[in-house]
């Protein structure tokens, strides 16, 4: 614990400053991971939404001499180090932890809203996982890649978008008329599709496209666009 303050007190003091500004000595969490990882971006968005300052250590598990493997036996980012030295990994767990640090919750407390929001988030995670799997397969040498595997991932993504378009939900926010993990998880996934699997899903799902346009204007999304993604998001939609 820093300076004898409780973690809640520290977070409260640091909420006054955004993560884009210079870090003071009172950094309470360290985030490890590279900018183009959708899982890392998701945690950055959550930290920004909660106004929690953090030190960002931009390392990839693929960098020579990186510290990720020593911190996470699974060798994946994001990894988060708390102010009392605990090391946590996996974006879902990190967001659950981050959400406990300030009172305004990304994960709704009421059982029904919580379940609804977590289901949307789970859909978003699945879309990101399928988009990453498709990308990695597509990057394999032509003779080694499986077209069947790629099509299976694309089918998952197409079904998920159709599900999201049809499901009962709010127009501006998916659950309970306020921004939550539901909006974070799905909007992150849709922007990642535009980045790594660009195709015209909007003409099929205009309502979903309108909802995403609203969420994308939030500071947390605009300020965490990774290098290279700007072009995809600026493309005519």
Ligand X SMILES: N[C@@H](CCC(=O)N[C@@H](CS)C(=O)NCC(=O)O)C(=O)O
3-class secondary structure per residue, 103-152 = CCCCCCCCHHHHHHHHHHHHHHHHHHHHHHHHHHHHCCCCCCCCHHHHHH
Tokens representing 146 are 């499986």
Tokens matching residue 116: 């609804």
Q: Is residue 101 within 8 Å of 179, Cβ to Cβ?
A: no
Residue with smaller CB distance to ligand X, 120 or 211: 120
Q: Which of residues 70-99 bind ligand X (CB under 6 A)?
A: 75-78, 90-92
Total binding residues for ligand X by CB under 6 A? 10
Minimal distance, residue 233 CB to ligand X, in Å: 18
Residue with Cβ nearer ligand X (192 or 211): 192
93 vs 211: CA distance, rounded Å: 26
- Contact between 178 and ligand X (CB under 6 A)? no
The residues in 192-211 that bind ligand X, with binding defined as CB under 6 A, are: none
Closer residue to ligand X (CB): 10 or 189: 189
Q: Which of 11, 14, 39, 49 binds ligand X (CB under 6 A)?
A: 39
Cβ neighbours of residue 138 under 8 Å, at least 6 residues apart? 145, 150
15 vs 132 by CB, closer to ligand X: 132
Query: Does 226 interact with ligand X (rule: CB under 6 A)?
Result: no
Which residue's structure tokens are 């799997």?
133
Nearer to ligand X, 18 or 75 (CB): 75
**What are the E-state strand segments in the chain?**
29-32, 54-57, 79-81, 87-89
Residues 139-168 interacting with ligand X (rule: CB under 6 A): none
Contact set with ligand X (CB under 6 A): 37, 39, 61, 75-78, 90-92
């Amino acid at each position: 614990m820093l300076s004898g303050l409780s973690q809640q007190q520290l977070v409260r003091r640091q909420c006054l400053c955004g993560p884009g500004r210079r870090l003071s000595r009172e950094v309470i969490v360290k985030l490890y991971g590279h900018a183009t990882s959708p899982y890392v971006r998701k945690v950055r968005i959550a930290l920004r939404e909660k106004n929690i300052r953090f030190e960002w250590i931009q390392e990839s598990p693929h960098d020579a001499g990186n510290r990720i493997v020593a911190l996470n036996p699974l060798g994946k980012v994001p990894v988060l180090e708390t102010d009392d030295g605990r090391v946590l990994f996996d974006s879902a767990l990190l967001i659950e932890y981050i959400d406990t640090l300030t009172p305004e919750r990304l994960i709704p407390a009421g059982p029904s809203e919580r379940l609804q929001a977590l289901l949307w988030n789970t859909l978003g995670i699945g879309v990101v996982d399928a988009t990453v799997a498709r990308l990695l397969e597509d990057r394999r040498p032509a003779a080694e890649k499986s077209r069947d595997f790629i099509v299976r991932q694309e089918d998952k993504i197409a079904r998920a978008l159709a599900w999201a378009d049809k499901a009962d939900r709010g127009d501006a926010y998916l659950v309970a008329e306020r921004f939550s993990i539901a909006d974070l998880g799905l909007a992150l996934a849709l922007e990642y599709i535009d980045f790594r699997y660009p195709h015209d899903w909007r003409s099929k799902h205009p309502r979903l496209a309108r909802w995403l346009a609203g969420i994308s204007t939030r500071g947390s999304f605009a300020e965490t666009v990774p290098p290279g993604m700007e072009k995809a998001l600026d493309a005519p939609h």
